[in-house]
Chain A
Amino acid sequence: MTPEGMLLNGLAVITTGLIVGAIFSLVAAGVTIMYGTIWFPNASNGQFFILAALLMWSLVANWGLSPFLAAVVVIAGSIPFSLILEKFLVRPFYNVPNRNIVYFIMTLGLAQIFAGAFTCTYGRWSDQYSLPATWPGVIMLGPFPFPRTRLLVLLIALILLAGLFAFLRLHRIGRALRAVFQNREAAILRGVDVRRIYRFSFVLAMLIITTGGVLFALAYAFDLTMAWNMAIIAFAIMIVGGPGSVLGSVVIGMIFGFTQAAVSLFASPTLAAFSYLIVMLIILLVKPSGLFAR
């Protein structure tokens, strides 16, 4: 490989790693918030992620909506959707002692429903889905071209992650949410309405996952197999980073994003997925509380 080729490849790894890592981090943050507060290990997170992306595709490529309007519609639509899910699927189990395993099986079933529904609707219409560039053209970073849309997506993702951090550290509700992560009983004693925090964190987490899907659809082409991979990757990030730790999910999400970019370039994406699985298994066996747990 020529030096310029290597440099270009290296730059591709960095940019793709940043964008993919930021989106991984977002989705994993959603999954980890859900698990940390409600004990809801959402195995269908990948399906919700791809649902958002598919809806973006329908709205923009088929209905001709502007991408910004479509993003607002999809993200806002996730709120009533998650409230319904919370009422019928999540809330009935709040008093069940080992509810995480019940939830896990249930969301696996949910994932199967969505996967089946996607194959006999979107699966018939197309194999790969890509949106027209929201903001066509490239920006030159020195001698290297950088598509504008992807730069925009990266900026939005980073701003959202920063906003999430600020919310969890500074805002009253965010702090209550972290209190529930860390010590449910103490939080109750301090007057936190745990049920309301549960509902709020479910909606917030779904909102984050949906946003991840919307951003991914804006930046890259995708297909239906993404759903299952995303679910596994989000779980891997949550386990390695430590369930309930948003910081862990961001750090590990970025690392996994770069791994994905590098391994996909030089070997195959399956190898990257395989490496996550092995890392997750090792962490599960050695330190189930994850690397960033307190």
Chain B
Amino acid sequence: MAYRRAALVGLVILALALPFLFSASRFYAFILGVTYLYILWSSGMNLLSGFTGLMPLMYAGLAGVGAYTTVNLVMKFGVSFWLAMPAGALAAALVGVVLGLPSLRLRGFYFTLSGLVIQTALTMLFVYIPQFTGGDTGISQIPPPLISLPGDRSFPLAGVWLEEALAVAALLTVYVVHRVTQSTLGKYLVAIREDDLLTEALGIGVTRYRVLAFFISSLFAGVGGAFYAHYVGFVSPRSFDVLTSLNIWLIVGFGGQGTILGPIVGAVILAPIPYLMQEFYLYKDIVYGSLIVFTTIFLPRGVYGSLLFHRRTRTSARGKSEAARS
């Protein structure tokens, strides 16, 4: 246990130190920031797709709801980012709860399909309300979050400090998701994933916990969307289309569905790819698409999930052989 705790503390320190180590190059620091964003998003999605067994293909759309709400509050009404971001997250969470309602009736493929439908409709909606979204051209020159100091002074949170904020947000998300999965709620969610009818029969309110899972997961979608908009400085409906949802799912699936570290592993490996092969930006979809096909065929448990699985089967095999000897 002490070993694991030390590893955990080391990981947290590493996550907080990396922005400073990368600060010499704006380019690599930006890739790091985007990786943190994807850790946040994929951990949030994992709560639904991995732990509750519902694949939310409208996740990027929810992130868009959070992003557009925040950006409009900040740029049109002059609200501070630190107030607008929770408002955006709440908006995403509420929309997520409403759009998650099909999950009460639909299972498996049909739910996933309804997610695809909702995501497509949301993307169309974003294009069709240009007064809030800037339409197809999008919104550019979104200012970085401001930090106000006492005495009417304020400075923009930019560069390495914004990456630091993203690191904190990502770590907090992972921590919250971890706590949720350790709690009774998390156990109920896994029970719902494994057999919702049986869970219902045991007197556990499946509906209530599903809705709750949607609320928490969409909250993170919104937080990520708000940070994305103010970090990248530009959003368009394409930033939140079905391919983004698929990419976030790929990170979860490639890392390991239903594990805490899986999304981190996935994001660290996959999120930098489109930036590192900059001149091949066009081939990004081919690479990600191939990875989706590869993951579904050869890595259904994901990288980290397979690691856990092999370790578990090895220890249980050893336990069995020892029991047989004694």
Contact = CB atoms under 8 A, between A and B. Distances in A.
A104 B109 contact: yes
A119 B282 CA distance: 8
A106 B113 contact: no
Interface stretch (A8-16, A127-135, A140-148, A272-280): A272-280
Interface in B271-295: 282-293, 295
A137 interface: no
Contacts, number: 113
B117 A116 contact: no
B27 interface: no
Interface stretch (A95-103, A168-176, A196-204, A256-264): A95-103
B296 interface: yes
Given A108-B246, A110-B289, A116-B283, A89 B297 contact: yes
A281 B282 contact: no
Nearest to A106: B296
Contacts of B284: 116
Contact of A105 (B117, B121, B296): B296
A54 interface: no
Contacts of A120: 282-283, 286
A281 B112 contact: no
A116 to B, nearest CB: 3
Interface stretch (B37-45, B72-80, B100-108, B309-317): B100-108
B285 A101 contact: no
A30 interface: no
Interface string A243-265: 00000000000000000000000
A66 interface: no
A105 B113 CA distance: 10
A278 B105 CA distance: 17
Interface in A72-129: 89, 92, 98, 100-102, 104-106, 108-117, 119-120
A41 B105 contact: no
B296 A116 contact: no
Q: What class of interface size applies to chain B in its complex with A? A: 35 or more
A113 B290 CA distance: 6
A224 to B, nearest CB: 12
B108 A100 contact: yes
Contacts of A105: 55, 112, 249, 253, 292, 296
A194 interface: no
Nearest to A278: B121
Interface in B108-155: 108-110, 112-114, 116-118, 120-121, 124, 127-128
A235 interface: yes
B180 interface: no
B118 A112 contact: no
A95 to B, nearest CB: 13
A141 B105 CA distance: 50
A113 B117 contact: no
Contact of A106 (B108, B243, B287, B297): B297
B296 A113 contact: no
Contact of A232 (B105, B114, B120): B120
Contact of A280 (B117, B243, B287): B117
Given A41-B113, A235-B113, A111 B289 contact: yes
A6 B279 CA distance: 52
Contact of B117 (A106, A281, A288): A281
A274 B129 CA distance: 14
Contacts of A225: none
A285 interface: yes
A107 B117 CA distance: 16
Given A112-B292, A285-B105, A104 B113 contact: yes
Interface string B164-184: 000000000000000000000
A239 B296 CA distance: 24
6 contacts: A104-B113, A109-B250, A113-B289, A239-B113, A270-B124, A277-B124
Interface of B: 55, 102, 105-106, 108-110, 112-114, 116-118, 120-121, 124, 127-128, 243, 246, 249-250, 253, 282-293, 295-297, 300
Given A105-B55, A273-B120, 12 more contacts: A43-B116, A105-B112, A105-B249, A105-B253, A105-B296, A109-B288, A110-B289, A113-B293, A274-B124, A281-B118, A284-B110, A284-B117
